[in-house]
Amino acid sequence: MKRFIGFIKKEFYHIFRDRRSLFILFGMPIAQILLFGFAITNEINNVDIAILDHSKDATTKEIINKIASSKYFSTKQIINREEDIASVFKKGQVKAVLNFEKDFSKNLIKENKATIQIITDATDPNTANTISNYVNAILQKYQKELNKDITMVYQIVPETRMVYNPELKSVYMFVPGVMTIILMLVSAMMTSISITREKELGTMEILLVSPLKPIQVIIGKVFPYIFLSIINAAIIVMLSIFIFKMPVQGSLFLLGLESILFIISALALGILISTISATQQTAMMISLMALMLPVILLSGFIFPISSMPLPLQVISNIIPAKWFIIIIKGIMLKDVGLQFIWKETLILLGMTVFFMTLSVKKYKIRLE
Amino acid sequence: MGITISNISKSYKNVKALQDISFDVKPGELFGLIGPDGAGKTTLFRILTTLLIANEGTATVVGFDVVADYKKIRNSVGYMPGKFSLYQDLTVEENLSFFATIFGTTIEENYDLIKDIYVQIEPFKDRRAGKLSGGMKQKLALCCALIHKPKVLFLDEPTTGVDPVSRKEFWDMLKRLQQKDITILVSTPYMDEAALCDRIALIQHGKILEIDTPQAIVKHYPKQIYNVRANNMYQLITSLNKYEHHHSVYPFGEFVHYTDNRADINPNDLILYLESNNLLDVEIAKTVATIEDTFMELAK
């Protein structure tokens, strides 16, 4: 036990003396969560649009006012000729142009029909779609106001309700994903690097010619990172609660336990990587390629798994991150207890045990 | 109870690193493994310290088999690899106490063993190991290898890259350790250090050339060696190599060590020959063989 404590003490010296890694360790989660929370978002805010108003009457003014006063759009430019549409798009000054036809009011009253053209810059299809939906919504609302005295006979009113994230905040989706990525990266990459560093510097040779058992070396390497990753997870959860006002509906205790389970599975993967790589560089590359990409692409963090082609859906099952994201989304957003996520937990536990056993088995007691 | 090595062979892919090596190291002996880079010294060390498994042959260290009883060997030997292998970001004292702890001991418990060496680096005990000079690093590494009072000490090229003063100090320390009943197997590419060992094995291309005491090895040298000197070293060597009776020609400091094919030679013949090759100030004198000469002769 004394040997073990001595080993852990040494590991902490390594971690705390390497300022750069320490900065990455704690700076990265904060930077990532802030980036994903503020900058990278699916919502639209203050999109610049241009107005081409051929009629300039009371109705068009009212519509323009309604659009401009919403927080989604800001009217950047008023243009007067059709030819200008192409040029404002080309300059990239606006994302959309609203084109009101001539005699808009008159047509509306006389013919009960007036047209407005919404032209959007679809180089970014998602944004274009969202913009046109938002404009449509504003127009429809205005139309309702105009028709409020008239009762229509047949009406279907769809009443949509978004549960668990009523405001459709993208941060709700990013926090679990970012937490998963960071725990995976810190745990797997840092352990694999710290073990391969011993190989590269030759200290592994001395550790092998000592009475330390493989399991002692492995647990000694892993223990400090469990501790640091828990702190990281706590930082992420606190940032999301206090900065993004993301409510954590479920039990924090369960969230903590599940996180520890995921951290251990990532650490086991890290050890496994270190057994197959000889240098820190290789360990880092393998961690990035074999862990990061699948975690980002196949875990359901950004792209929904249900819309992937079947082979990818099958592959996604072997990625621990997928199960962890299901678990933490459940706990954080839906307040589910263990009775709803025991299956995912069990799968994650099975994977952890498998990776751990494999890495202890693969740990070399000699140099070759 | 020292080290026994019998018929050890080891190859990597298509390189034969060790070929049928056999020798014994007696308990309490200071045994030197002398040979150039790539001779197979490190491979042999790694086999004896249980880090590699030989393709053929067996070996025991303090009575334990290097394959079957590897755990027991790892408890009772000290190993200092050729490459500096301590934690550079840990201080001198932290390194030492780390190695003490993993061997289940403390610095205090075995302080008397490392005292002579440790007092020299103690003033720097709060310095990071990576910031020490070459000689200091080796002294620290020796302390770390000694801290658990090993029965056998393996030192793989401990003085490579160390200045001559530190080298001498280092060997003085080894002599003192030997008196504390520690068997020492040390390797070095420096022939002058060989003379300080009790017995040495000359090794090249994975084969043992000769095993004996340094004195005996020198005495067995079959020929008379001449120190030859002239005004132009380069031309001297080429001329001697062209001389019809030459046996061996090796530069040795400011001289050339020359041996002749004939049993009996007249130095004046050689002087005349060299002067006819436009060399001036030619001097010739008899000298005694060194281990380096023996090695060169055997490696021929």
DSSP H or E stretch at residue A13: helix A2-17
Q: Output DSSP code: residue B228.
A: E
Give the C-alpha separation, B155 to B48, whole Å.
12
pLDDT truncated to tens, each residue of chain B (300 aa)? Answer: 789 999 999 998 888 999 999 999 999 999 999 988 888 999 999 999 999 999 999 999 999 999 999 999 998 999 999 888 899 999 999 999 999 999 989 999 989 888 888 888 889 989 999 998 888 898 899 999 999 989 999 999 998 888 888 888 889 889 988 998 899 999 988 888 888 999 999 999 999 999 999 999 888 888 889 999 999 889 999 999 999 889 999 998 889 999 988 878 888 888 889 989 888 888 899 998 888 888 888 887
CATH number listed for the domain at residues B3-217: 3.40.50.300
The sign of the torsion formed by the CA atoms of A245, A250, A253, A254 equals: negative
What residues does B257 pair with on adjacent strands? B227, B250
Three-state SS at A51: strand
Q: Which amino acid is at B98?
A: F
Q: Give the right CATH number for B225-298 from 3.10.20, 3.30.70, 1.10.1760, 1.10.10.
A: 3.30.70
CB contact under 8 A, B52 and A207: no
| Closest Cα in chain B to A368 | B52
- A368–B52 CB contact, under 8 Å: yes
What string of DSSP letters covers A247-288?
Answer: ---S-HHHHHHHHHHHHHHHHHHHHHHHHH-SSHHHHHHHII
| DSSP at B14 | T
Q: Which two tokens stand for residue B259?
A: 């041996």
Q: Which residues of A touch B52 (CB under 8 A)?
A: 366-368
Q: Chain A contact for B253, CB < 8 A? A: no
pTM of the model: 0.78
- In chain A the first and final C-alpha atoms are separated, in Å, by 28
Runs of H (alpha helix) within chain B:
41-48, 70-76, 92-102, 111-121, 134-146, 164-178, 191-194, 214-219, 233-242, 267-276, 291-299
| Cβ contact A210–B102 (<8 Å) | yes
Sketch the domain layout of chain B as residue ranges: 3-217, 225-298
- Under DSSP, the state recorded for A101 is P
Residues in chain B with CB shorter than 8 Å from the CB of A208 are 50-51, 74
**What is the total residue count of chain A?**
368
Q: What is the dihedral of CA B230, B232, B234, B235, to 10 degrees?
A: -80
- What SS3 state is found at A102? coil
The contact set of A with B (CB < 8 A) is 2-3, 5-7, 9-10, 13-14, 17-18, 201-203, 205-212, 365-368
For residue A364, the chain B residue with the least C-alpha distance is B51
- Which domains are present in chain A? 2-40+169-366 (no CATH), 47-147 (3.40.1710.10)
Alpha carbon A178 to chain centroid, angstroms: 5
* Identity of the amino acid at B229: R
ipTM over 0.85: no
Give the span between the Cα atoms of A7 and B99, in whole angstroms: 9
Q: Which residues on A lie below 8 Å from B130 (Cβ)?
A: none
